[in-house]
Amino acid sequence: MTTKRAFVLRSILTWLAVTLLCSAILYAEQIRRQYWQCDRAFNQLFSTLSTALTQNESVIPILNGDEDLALLRQKFPQIQALEKTLNRPLDSARVEHFSDATYWLYNPYRQIRVKISLKPLLGSPAHFSQVELQNHDTPLPGLYRWGWKRQFPQHFQPFTLQAGADPDWANVSLLPHWLLAAGSAMVVAMGSLLLWFRRQQRKDRQRANYYQHARLNTLGEMAAGVVHEINQPLMATQMWLEGGLRQLKNGHSEPAQQAIRSALTQTQRISNLLTRFRAHLSQEEVAMTHVNLAHSWQRVGDLLEHEPGSKQIRITHALTAVQILADPLWLEQVLHNLLSNAIQAQQHNEKGWVHITSETDGEKVKVTLTDGGPGFSPQALQHALMPLFSEREGGLGLGLTLTESLMTRMNGTLRLANSPQGGAEINLWFSKGE
């Protein structure tokens, strides 16, 4: 009970640590999204103002001061006034500040000036705490955690757009955090249960091994005891048989039959003693069962459907013989290894495919798996079943070795080849199920 309580406590602490860590990452991600929303809003505002400034520079050279202001504002609403100037020097300033985001734009060659107001474009963006359009390089008066600053490229309108904002620490969605806490609780609980069951299985195996070793260690004592027990009925049997022979010699058939029946009783006792002794030493073996190949293939496909690179792989089958004699877990492990190798070999193939077929081959069932990958190299065909051999980067070289070992334990065989149409071809033979 103490061990179980400690295990539960560790699981809860693990859940708290995972939840806090993931919540911190999620919270940081939400704040980061606030920043990028502000950044996109600033870039959009900059693009809008840049378009307006470009329009101003494009329209002022074609004005002569006699245009109808109302008609002009229909196309350029940022223009507030249009006036003529007198004898303004050609080298005088082209821009004069009037008020916040409002200025005069001069054209000394035509002796006119245009009052421009960009306040409607600036507005009051909800993403920022402060936004200013300046014709001088002055920092914003407020202190903000985030700041943006960009200068417009227009030659005669040297403005700088600045904006500042602070993260809205409280404006985060709590639902993802609750879902994260619930999801991490489920994952930690499932993982803890799995670890607990594995630990219990390991303890059970250790306990069984201990008992088995204990039985083997006491084998000498058991054998001595059995010899002692057998010795008595053997001596009794000998005595009854000798007595029966003497009765037969004397012509007494009835006592001789009684002696023989008594000897048979003693031999039956010896047989029972030996049967009980063998029961102490016997061990059960894993029995093969009839397995549906199609069901196992479907389960393996479901397990690998979210593996990296599996989305572009088309998996098909044509299984005519589906009942085989195998161990269900070993069979799924074999199919899992082969399908995983086929998917990994076609990670960079946008139209990859894997096809599996089965057919009756005498007393066996032949299963053939082909793919659209590059196939086996000559070296791989020779050494692929050897431990630690792998041509794939990061591969351990144990998958096909384990597959061959499992096939051998299921009284099956495995053969590697390349398909005439290209790609790998793997043939498996199983005993046919009824």
Per-residue pLDDT averaged across 125-154, rounded? 81
Read off the DSSP letter of residue 129.
Answer: S
Rg (CA), the chain: 45
pLDDT of residue 137: 66
Is residue 422's pLDDT more than 70?
yes
Q: Distance between CA atoms of 75 and 410, rounded to whole angstroms?
A: 84
User: 281 pLDDT band (50/70/90 cuts)?
Assistant: very low
| Domain ranges across the chain | 2-165, 190-281, 289-432
Beta strands in 337-386 (DSSP E): 352-361, 364-371
User: 429 pLDDT band (50/70/90 cuts)?
Assistant: very high
Share of the chain above pLDDT 70, in %: 82
pLDDT of residue 3: 67
Per-residue pLDDT averaged across 192-202, rounded? 82
Is residue 402's pLDDT more than 90?
no
Task: With beta carbons less than 8 A apart as the criterion, state whether 319 and 357 touch.
Answer: yes
Query: Sign of the C-alpha dihedral, residues 171, 176, 182, 187?
Result: negative
pLDDT of residue 430: 92
Share of the chain above pLDDT 90, in %: 10
pLDDT of residue 386: 77
User: 365 pLDDT band (50/70/90 cuts)?
Assistant: very high
pLDDT of residue 276: 45
Map residue 291 onto helix, strand or coil.
strand
pLDDT (tens digit, 9 = 90+) per residue, 370-392? 998 888 888 888 878 777 767 77
Higher-pLDDT residue of 243, 419: 419
Is residue 135's pLDDT more than 60?
yes
Per-residue pLDDT averaged across 355-381, rounded? 89
Is residue 366's pLDDT more than 90?
yes
pLDDT of residue 355: 92
pLDDT of residue 233: 64
State the pTM of this model: 0.43
pLDDT of residue 251: 80
Is residue 123's pLDDT more than 60?
yes
Q: What angle do CA 95, 101, 107 make, to 5 degrees?
A: 25
Q: Distance between CA atoms of 407 and 427, rounded to whole angstroms?
A: 11
User: 426 pLDDT band (50/70/90 cuts)?
Assistant: very high
Nearest residue to 169 via CA among 34, 271, 282: 34
Per-residue pLDDT averaged across 192-201, rounded? 82
pLDDT (tens digit, 9 = 90+) per residue, 210-253? 445 544 444 554 454 455 446 556 766 777 788 888 888 888 77
Higher-pLDDT residue of 329, 43: 43
User: 92 pLDDT band (50/70/90 cuts)?
Assistant: confident
Provide CB contacts within 8 A for 82, sequence distance 6+. Answer: 63, 65, 67, 69, 72, 112, 113, 114, 115
Highest mean pLDDT (candidates 237-251, 374-388, 393-407, 409-423) = 409-423
Average pLDDT over the chain reads 80
Per-residue pLDDT averaged across 263-272, rounded? 68
| Domain at 289-432: CATH architecture | 2-Layer Sandwich (3.30)
Q: Distance between CA atoms of 185 and 199, rounded to whole angstroms?
A: 20
Nearest residue to 95 via CA among 42, 57, 38: 57
Map residue 213 onto helix, strand or coil.
helix
pLDDT of residue 236: 64
**Where is average pLDDT lowest: 104-108, 119-123, 351-355, 356-360?**
119-123
pLDDT (tens digit, 9 = 90+) per residue, 245-260? 888 888 877 877 887 8
